[in-house]
């Protein structure tokens, strides 16, 4: 396999100066290879080896596309202990919007690209369903149905409600578009960086007490880990709904359990801490809670969207153009 510059990338190597006769090695999940179709001739696109550590291309691979899942369930295990030996590696493309599960393993100088945009539709649809199910107490009525109980009550409306979006990336933007036809009173947006219509997280104490529903769409970082804890939950409006479609570790499980047991808030979670949730965990039996098993982003159309993203990224790579969705500052 020809060499590709031979040095760890760190912003000093310009792809445009590379030997254009050399094929640039790319590893992709085997199940994606045929679906990618016709690719640029300057790329040597191969399936990820079953034993990457023993493959002669390990030091030459320039671009790795991580699989959505592996037999072990842990995609990072494929390259455990190997990243530093991949001396030509320049890019790692992941199939998820969040990168917390891999970003700490990747050596400096290697760009990690998220799948921003790929999950917007299914996750935003799940969030809308979660908000409506929470407002209309569908989980309790389902339980009443199983017990043959007919017990009606007045329910809150999404119309006229105050919505707080924690995190305002592409998924949150898609959530907002789906919420707007229900005519909420307000939609307040918080994110790490201020921009037009978006406040920083410093504004949280002033806006949290008024929110009827808090939708967590933040990435998991050192700053957001455990953010939704005792103080946060105590500041929420009594009876408000917490929806988490981000990462389980953003919510302090013990604090959430206490808030649910006292009836202070209600919650719908697609992610939990721990995850998967053990069968004997108290969250399963917590009042006012609906849990789904991290399926918000699951979709029968997801694979096709990921293939389209990977194909576009490889086209950019071959043209020496900047790749999309390069993660910066852990986001």
* Enzyme catalytic residues: 247, 275, 294
C-alpha to C-alpha distance for 253 and 272, rounded to whole angstroms: 8
**Cβ contacts of residue 259 below 8 Å, gap of 6+?**
233, 234, 236, 265
């Amino acid at each position: 396999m020809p060499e590709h510059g031979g040095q760890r990338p760190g912003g000093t190597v310009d792809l445009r100066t590379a030997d254009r006769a050399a094929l640039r090695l790319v590893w992709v999940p085997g199940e994606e290879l045929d679906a990618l179709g016709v690719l640029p001739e300057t790329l040597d696109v191969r399936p990820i080896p079953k034993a990457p550590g023993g493959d002669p291309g390990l030091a030459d691979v320039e671009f790795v596309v991580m699989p959505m899942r592996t037999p072990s369930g842990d995609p990072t295990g494929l390259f455990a202990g190997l990243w530093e030996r991949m001396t030509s590696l320049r890019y790692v493309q992941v199939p998820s919007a969040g990168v917390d599960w891999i970003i700490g393993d990747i050596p400096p100088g290697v760009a990690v690209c998220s799948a921003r945009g790929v999950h917007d539709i299914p996750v935003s649809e799940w969030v809308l369903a979660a908000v409506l199910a929470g407002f209309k107490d569908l989980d309790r009525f389902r339980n009443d149905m199983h017990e043959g109980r007919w017990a009606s009550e007045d329910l809150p409306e999404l119309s006229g409600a105050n919505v707080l979006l924690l995190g305002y990336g592409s998924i949150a933007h898609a959530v907002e578009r789906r919420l707007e036809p229900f005519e909420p009173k307000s939609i307040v947006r918080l994110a790490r960086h201020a921009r037009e219509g978006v406040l920083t997280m410093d504004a949280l104490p002033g806006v949290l007490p008024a929110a009827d529903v808090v939708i967590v769409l933040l990435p998991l970082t050192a700053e957001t880990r455990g953010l939704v804890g005792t103080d946060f939950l105590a500041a929420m409006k009594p009876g408000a709904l917490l929806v988490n479609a981000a990462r389980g570790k953003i919510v302090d499980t013990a604090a959430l359990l206490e808030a649910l047991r006292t009836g202070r808030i209600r919650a719908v979670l697609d992610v939990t801490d721990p995850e998967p949730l053990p069968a004997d965990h108290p969250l399963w039996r917590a009042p006012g809670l609906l849990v789904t098993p991290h399926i918000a982003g699951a979709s029968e159309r997801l694979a096709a969207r990921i293939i389209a993203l990977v194909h576009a990224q490889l086209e950019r790579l071959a043209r020496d153009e900047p790749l999309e969705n390069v993660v910066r500052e852990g986001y």
